[in-house]
Structure 1
Amino acid sequence: MTAGEALVDAVRTGLAELADPVKAPEMQAYMKSDMPFLGVQKPGRVALLKTLPRIDDRNVWLDAVQTLWREARYREERYVALSLSGDKRFLSVDLMPWFDEMIVTGAWWDYVDEIASKRVGPLLRSSPEVVRPLMLKWSTDGDRWRRRTSVICQLGFKGATDDELLAVCVDANLDDPDFFLRKGIGWALREYAKTEPGWVRAFVQARPGLSPLSRREALKHL
């Protein structure tokens, strides 16, 4: 068994041992998931992550993460793959196509929000020449989760926020009726308001077409 196969096996075995058949259907219903759950809540998954074998080869690591994600039978397998994908030793801009695949195939907020803020965001800061044009492209993409990513990828940037990029990505989705986009717009603006309240207030006032949801969220603490 290779190191990658051992990691995948350890994840699947560990999750199976932690499975709770009572919690599983409740978790699936809450997340409105077609993929079933094993019933392993976050504390259990965090504990499992600490026991997994360490992989130092980047290619082996990526192959294991992709195997867990693509072959997942249970949602927790994808949660673990998502956690493993954040290994800072291996995080670099050439992984953007992989994160894109996770966004499009995951297609739900529990995956996308972490990828946007904890994977795409750091890469935007480290390699803006590559990621910024991609976010501009995603802001008008046909996939709503790419669009949401473009809007919320700067969460936590505070004074380092590229407000021009934020404005363009929000404006591109201003009229979209999708709840997750409207919520994402409000979330991004609300967070930036903690650093630049005047900018956010002026931005909102200049856009009468901003949805009530986005407007309410953006101005929540102003």
Structure 2
Amino acid sequence: MFDTTAFLTDLRAEMVQCADPAHRDGLRWFFKEAISPLGVRSSELNALVARRWRELRTLDPAVLLQMCNTLWQSDVFEDPTLASKWCSRAVSKLGPAAFETFEGWLSTRVNNWAHCDVLCTGCLGPLLMRHPELWERTLPWLASPNRWLRRGAAVSLVPPGRRGLFLDQVFHVADALLTDDDDLVRKGYGWMLKETSKAWPQEVLDFVLARRARMPRVALRYAIELMPADWRRKAMER
């Protein structure tokens, strides 16, 4: 029987052992929001995810989700990232019932773009690709006062967008957020359009050209970043 308490105690000891105080201080400086990192570098964190996954891969989905929920309740900066990366590996067996849990983390626990993006690109996006009917449940996020739900509505479409999927949904979200006054939301939907342009370059260019007079420049620059230079010049013209 899996002992969640023992696993998390051992996990914390391993994280403390590989923590780098200089990296910890750099993270605190980098993020505008107040965070409490241990200072585990991304390479170490990813190695830890892979190593400990051997113990988690056969867990009952409900047990895994509950363990990850415990990590999401933690104030340690690295913990939600670990939880999201493990849930990402288990999306296929977690199934559509996990949507409510993921949405709860996004709406109540996320307080920085890094946690928003690892959850949305690693968990919500892949879940939407497997269960497209869930996308409609993200529509209320577009009008939410919570910036992370609005950004999340866009960033969750990054994985399907880069694979040439959900084009209509991508444009719907971009239109809904087009003039959002939050810079992180603008960058989020700009990133979504940029990734979608890998599969649909002409369609994304046409979308941008039709809206460039109203589209914030930061979102526009993100959206066209991967396009040929002459396309970028055309899109940036006033």
**Could you say which residue in structure 2 is the equivalent of 1:66?**
69
Equivalenced residue count is 220
Q: TM-score, normalised by structure 2?
A: 0.84
Aligned residue for 2:117, secondary structure, equals: helix
Q: Quote the offset at 1:203 in angstroms.
A: 0.8
User: Which residues in structure 2 correspond to 1:2-41 (within 5 Å)?
Assistant: 3-41=3-41
Percent identical pairs in the alignment equals 26
Aligned residue for 1:203, secondary structure, equals: helix
Residues 3, 60 of structure 1: 8 Å contact kept: no
The AA in structure 2 aligned to 1:191 is E
**Could you say which residue in structure 2 is the equivalent of 1:142?**
145
**Closer/same/farther in 2, CA of residues 220 and 60 from structure 1, 3 Å limit:** closer
Residues 192, 200 of structure 1: 8 Å contact kept: yes
In 2, distance between residues paired with 1:43 and 1:146? 28
In 2, distance between residues paired with 1:215 and 1:168? 16
Residues 4, 67 of structure 2: 8 Å contact kept: yes
Residues 20, 38 of structure 1: 8 Å contact kept: yes
Q: Quote the offset at 1:144 in angstroms.
A: 1.5
In 1, distance between residues paired with 2:70 and 2:31? 23
Aligned residue for 1:54, secondary structure, equals: helix
The AA in structure 2 aligned to 1:83 is K
Q: TM-score, normalised by structure 1?
A: 0.89
User: Which residues in structure 2 correspond to 1:8-157 (within 5 Å)?
Assistant: 8-52=8-52, 54-55=55-56, 56-70=59-73, 72-88=74-90, 90-104=93-107, 105-129=109-133, 131-157=134-160
Runs of 4+ in 1 over 4 A off after TM superposition: none
**Closer/same/farther in 2, CA of residues 78 and 159 from structure 1, 3 Å limit:** closer
Residues 4, 61 of structure 1: 8 Å contact kept: no
**Could you say which residue in structure 2 is the equivalent of 1:220?**
225
Q: Quote the offset at 1:44 in angstroms.
A: 1.7
Higher relative helix content:
2
Residues 139, 169 of structure 1: 8 Å contact kept: yes
Unaligned runs of 5+ in 2: 228-238
**Closer/same/farther in 2, CA of residues 50 and 204 from structure 1, 3 Å limit:** closer
User: Which residues in structure 2 correspond to 1:165-204 (within 5 Å)?
Assistant: 165-204=169-208
Q: Quote the offset at 1:209 in angstroms.
A: 0.8
Q: Quote the offset at 1:183 in angstroms.
A: 0.9
Unaligned runs of 5+ in 1: none
In 2, distance between residues paired with 1:159 and 1:18? 36
Question: What's the CA shift string for 1:156-214, capped at 9, x where partnerless?
Answer: 43454222211221111111121111111221112212221221111112112111111
